[in-house]
Structure 1
Amino acid sequence: MTLKSTMAWVRGVAKRPWQISVKLLVISLIVTVLAFSVVCASVLISMRQSAQELARQTLENLAATVDADVSRTIELYDHSLQVVAKNIGQQELAGVSKPVLQMLLFARTETAPHFGPLQVIDAEGRVRFDASTLDPPPEELEREKFFTVHRNKTDVGLYLSRPIIFHGIPSIVLSRRVHTADGHFAGVVAGAIRLSYFQDLFSRLRLADDDIIALLRRDGMLITRRPLIPEMVGKNISQIPSVERMLTTPSGWFSGKGLDDGVSRMFVWTDNPRSMVVLVGRSWETIFGLWRKEALRLAAILLALAVFVAAVTVVLIREINRRASAERRLKELSITDPLTGLTNRRRFDSAIDEEWRRAQRNRSPIALLMIDADHFKRFNDTYGHQAGDQILIGIALCIADSVHRAGDCAARFGGEEFAVLLPGLTALEALTVAEIIRAKVERWSVDQAGVTVSIGVADLMPDQVDHWSHLVESADKALYAAKESGRNVCVVANCRKTTRVAELPATREIA
């Protein structure tokens, strides 16, 4: 194992748990923010639905209030019309003087500031009686719609005219048919409700600025509205799909745009068969105004939380990486020789134990080189400890430069002694590596007072009985044999269960 690969392996082992920790931290914080976002989103959706439902109920109540007031007014006025229509046909009143008849006809009729005077119109369309005067001005009303509809049909009942100018005032005319005892058409009883009544009614309600209230006749004719737009009064809007649905369904709501301003609104209606259709509209902007404020507030809180979580995450990741770097450094220091940069004795013992067990399982050989600097003590005493340290560093570099496989392990065994573990190699293959190391040190040491190395080579085929200490012992004996043989040589131990190798130059084999 080279120095570079050893360091990479150390960093990989040390880094992996911290990588997992950082990923878990980031994922946890992201999940937390997402969960909080989902909760906020569900709350906002619920609040939006509640705001919509509250607006619908409010508009329904408003429409019901308007409908009740208008219906009551029309019923009272219709009651007066029915009283006059009934009394005008009684035979007992035939000989009564006109002032008395006027009093009897209109004594029980309703009066109000927004009610026009009741009139009795004969079959030719002329005004016979007027509740406001004994001498009504001559009027020809035979062409008016409220007159012709009763003349042509017998079952109209109460008829509400379109908005017209009646006696100089914008009004709607309410009328009923008067018939003779044998059922023939005898005229019409009519009265007007001024459009100002409806505007006065609307002004008493608490409405938003963009709220709309409209009264429609049952055929889609717009009677009046708030805010009042004169050119729209009397316009038939039944061709609009939502209005068409409104005229055929007793109540409900729809979303649409105002005809005059194009503002999107919720429209709620209530349909009273005896009077008119009341349509109330409120803009979605008003309905969701408070909800939008809450949504923006929650969004701001969520954004602040996300920013805070991001900042905390960055700080924690930096702290984790800093601590991880420190721990990796400590890990490297604990398994690395500080002088040479090679693996230290502790890591070497762990590596040889691991590779020995693997070789036992795979039934493969394992080789070991024991390397020692020649005459190092003499060199150290002569040139000093710093020069001796430089020699050891140079030898370590030569060793690291010669060992390239991922499973190899080069270590400083102690003092000036080094060890190289070569899993899977036989003695012959390991001897080749040993010769490369010896030759490199020899060439390098030409300028270093001729310092060389002696190398002992040993290999074994581990079985279940053997222990790796036997391999170390064999390589160590080979190293001592190399020393006794004159140094700067490689000696192969003749271990059992290994292949016998041929001698190379500067190489010996011992028993």
Structure 2
Amino acid sequence: MIKNETNWIACLTGGIRQKLAASSLVVASCGAVIAIVMVGLCLVVLYQARQDALDHTRDKLRDIALVAQRDIERNLELYELSLQAVVDGLQQPDVMALPPHLRRQVLFDRAASAKYLGSMLVLDEAGNIVIDSGSDAPRQGNFADRSYFSVQRDNPGAGLYISDPFRSRLRGGAPSIALSRRLSRPDGSFAGIVLLAVNLEYFHNLFAGLSLGSHGSMALVGRDGTMVMRQPYDPRIIGRNISGASTFRRFLSAPEGSFSETASIDGIRRLYWFQNFPHAPLILMVAAAEEDFYAAWRRRAMTIGSLMLVFGFAFVALSMLLGAQMRRRMRAESDLQLLAHTDGLTGLNNRRSLGEILDKEWRRARRMHSVMSLLFVDIDRFKAYNDTYGHQAGDDALAAVARCISESIRRPADTAARYGGEEFVVVLPDTPASGATEIAERIRSAICECGIAHAGSEYGRVTASIGVVSRVPLTDDDLTAAIKAADEALYNAKATGRNKVSQFHPS
């Protein structure tokens, strides 16, 4: 067969040489190939330049997010220390015995240098102000209706609570968020809270100082979807809940990551980088508009592309017919060869090529008087898996099982194939029953350890049953009988509990 292919290639080469000598059209086609190669190289360069622009922007967004996150975390830590200092001081009798002006200085000393702080208050169990960082005589006010009070009152283990944005009643409606901690009596009952208001101006100034392009965006969002701050700044957006937006669902999918999406707020498509805070219920999002970071690439692509079209048009026009014909032929041959031997979903041999391999190895084993083993692998309760998770998930499971089988057979002579549906066959030449059983167990264990969830299985995950048969073919032995024996062993594995290996034993 190899000799015939060599002769055919030689004949084809000779024909091409004759045509090159006889026809100027073939010479022109060579020029067309060169033009196509140049266009291809140009496209590769342009595509790489586009990827570079995307990667550079992603790196820039990640750096900006890191700077902003560290600044916010540092200030939140400072504010939390200030709250804890007040909580600790309120538990000390000697501090509470001090005159009001001295007590206020001791309790709120750590918060004195913190920037963008609003009010820092101690509220009693009814929500009334009892100690005020702003004056010795507490201002009048009740905040029992605020979430930062009710959450601490109703949840003894709430810890540090960061509220949604609100307008301050003590500071003329200034947009703020509050950090609060619970105060408890010795018996554990609710005694009030300590709260610290942070002006949203802090986040506004921080975001405004970071360069994101003319259409860039930056936002701080609560894990519940509440918008804390957004740049470009719009007071109407602050406090809006975006939990239904597709972008927000992406934010919750991983601790950090990047994706491209069209914003629901303004309809601009952007590249996003998001970062979940590890110790606070906040998400930081930084985004750059595609029209901004692709602008320079588009100008360069238009210039280079136009030049390539002008210089390559003549070559491409002359070689169009021949090139199209060759491409169609090569594509058809490649597709036919692939379809003839390979299963498109799993990448294993298909049933047709399996038949050829089985016949060849059976005849070789009969000739050499050597043992040949077959494994029949069947995914347990695969119909129930398809019905529960859908056919796309079923295809993914088949591909995963195929990988487990491929990785478990190591000799070049061993062959795996998809027999049909959820069934696979492994051909093991020169392999005794003990070795075949060992390989089968290795495959079964690898499939089980993949951990693919399967609610319809008694094992809670995708498993497989495997039938094993090992034979030394005799003169009157038939391959069909060996296949039937492997199938019977598989049936026995299914009938005795699944997720196991069964060796065929003749009656």
Please tell me the residue identity of whatever aligns with 1:122.
D
CA–CA separation in structure 1 for the residues paired with 2:124 and 2:75: 26
Whether the 8 Å CA contact 2:122–2:192 is kept in 1: the answer is yes
2:69 maps to which of 55, 67, 70: 67
Q: Which has the higher contact order (CA 8 A, sep 6+)?
A: 1
Partner residue, 1:142: 144
Partner residue, 1:209: 214
User: Matched residue of 2:180: which SS?
Assistant: strand
Partner residue, 1:237: 242
Number of equivalences: 298
Q: Which runs of 4+ in 1 moved over 6 A?
A: 16-19, 310-313
Please tell me the residue identity of whatever aligns with 2:238.
V
User: Matched residue of 2:126: which SS?
Assistant: coil
CA–CA separation in structure 2 for the residues paired with 1:310 and 1:94: 90
Whether the 8 Å CA contact 1:76–1:110 is kept in 2: the answer is no
User: Matched residue of 1:134: which SS?
Assistant: coil
Shift of 1:278: 0.3
CA 61–138 in structure 1, closer or farther in 2 if over 3 Å, else same: same
Partner residue, 2:286: 280
1:300 maps to which of 295, 300, 306: 306
1:175 maps to which of 173, 180, 189: 180
Alignment of 1:247-262 (within 5 A): 247-262=252-267
2:227 maps to which of 200, 208, 222: 222
TM-score by length of 1: 0.55
Deviates more, 1:242-251 or 1:65-74: 242-251
Whether the 8 Å CA contact 2:32–2:318 is kept in 1: the answer is no
Whether the 8 Å CA contact 2:82–2:111 is kept in 1: the answer is yes
Deviation by residue 1:169-206 (Cα, 9 ceiling, x = unmatched) = 11111111112233221111111111111111112212
Deviation by residue 1:228-247 (Cα, 9 ceiling, x = unmatched) = 12222111111223312312
CA–CA separation in structure 1 for the residues paired with 2:255 and 2:118: 30
Partner residue, 2:435: none
Deviates more, 1:95-104 or 1:109-118: 109-118
CA–CA separation in structure 2 for the residues paired with 1:310 and 1:95: 93
User: Structure 2: which 5+ runs fail to align?
Assistant: 1-17, 320-507
CA–CA separation in structure 2 for the residues paired with 1:274 and 1:50: 33
User: Matched residue of 1:297: which SS?
Assistant: helix
User: Matched residue of 1:128: which SS?
Assistant: strand
CA–CA separation in structure 2 for the residues paired with 1:18 and 1:53: 46
Deviation by residue 1:203-233 (Cα, 9 ceiling, x = unmatched) = 2212211110000012111101000122221
CA–CA separation in structure 1 for the residues paired with 2:84 and 2:292: 44
CA 197–25 in structure 1, closer or farther in 2 if over 3 Å, else same: same
CA–CA separation in structure 1 for the residues paired with 2:86 and 2:316: 82
Please tell me the residue identity of whatever aligns with 1:177.
R
CA–CA separation in structure 2 for the residues paired with 1:156 and 1:184: 14
Whether the 8 Å CA contact 2:32–2:316 is kept in 1: the answer is no
Deviation by residue 1:381-429 (Cα, 9 ceiling, x = unmatched) = xxxxxxxxxxxxxxxxxxxxxxxxxxxxxxxxxxxxxxxxxxxxxxxxx
CA–CA separation in structure 2 for the residues paired with 1:280 and 1:268: 5
2:202 maps to which of 192, 197, 205: 197
Alignment of 1:2-401 (within 5 A): 20-166=22-168, 167=170, 168-275=173-280, 276-306=282-312
Shift of 1:136: 2.3
> CA-atom RMSD, angstroms?
2.3
Whether the 8 Å CA contact 1:266–1:283 is kept in 2: the answer is yes
CA–CA separation in structure 1 for the residues paired with 2:19 and 2:72: 78
CA–CA separation in structure 1 for the residues paired with 2:20 and 2:220: 73
Shift of 1:17: 8.2
CA–CA separation in structure 2 for the residues paired with 1:87 and 1:17: 98
CA 109–137 in structure 1, closer or farther in 2 if over 3 Å, else same: same
CA–CA separation in structure 2 for the residues paired with 1:274 and 1:81: 16
Whether the 8 Å CA contact 1:126–1:138 is kept in 2: the answer is yes
Shift of 1:308: 7.1
CA–CA separation in structure 2 for the residues paired with 1:222 and 1:103: 34
CA–CA separation in structure 2 for the residues paired with 1:225 and 1:95: 45
Please tell me the residue identity of whatever aligns with 2:88.
K
Whether the 8 Å CA contact 1:83–1:109 is kept in 2: the answer is no
CA–CA separation in structure 1 for the residues paired with 2:76 and 2:35: 60
Please tell me the residue identity of whatever aligns with 2:254.
T
Deviation by residue 1:348-369 (Cα, 9 ceiling, x = unmatched) = xxxxxxxxxxxxxxxxxxxxxx
Please tell me the residue identity of whatever aligns with 1:217.
G
Whether the 8 Å CA contact 1:124–1:187 is kept in 2: the answer is yes
CA–CA separation in structure 2 for the residues paired with 1:17 and 1:245: 59
CA–CA separation in structure 2 for the residues paired with 1:289 and 1:106: 51
TM-score by length of 2: 0.56
